[in-house]
Amino acid sequence: MEKLNAKLLAATKRISMDTLRKSNEMVRKSNERAEKLANPPKRIVRIGSVVGGCIGAGLLIIGTVGFILGKTVWPISMVTVGVISIVSNIINIIRTNDK
């Protein structure tokens, strides 16, 4: 009975160690991939900020046209979102250039 228990214990221990090793490898690869995705190259960040700023400028222009046409509700939100978008993208460009 003791031999059977020892064999079962050894097999269980081996399986557990293999599972732990594979799990640690998967976590390491996931962390590496997350690091790459969280820190894109400066060129990509700048392109994204320029595109976001252009979209913000478009929203600002559309909101201004809405005010000129005499509307009140949606132009306020368009202008607000446009200004916030432009400012946040400018801050992002400045922060990226400082690195």
pLDDT at 68: 94
Write down the pLDDT at residue 99. Answer: 67
Q: What percent of the chain has pLDDT over 90?
A: 67
Quote the mean pLDDT of the chain.
91
Identify the pLDDT of residue 30.
93
DSSP state of 33: H
Q: Three-class SS of residue 10? A: helix
Task: Over range 33-62, report the average pLDDT.
Answer: 91
Residue in 58, 48, 63, 52 with CA at minimum distance from that of residue 85 = 52
Taking 70 as the threshold, does the pLDDT of residue 96 lie above it? yes
State the pLDDT confidence band at 61, using cuts at 50, 70 and 90. Answer: very high
How large is the greatest C-alpha to C-alpha distance in the chain, in angstroms? Answer: 91
Q: Contact, 87 vs 57, CB < 8 A? A: no
pLDDT band, residue 3 (cuts 50/70/90): confident
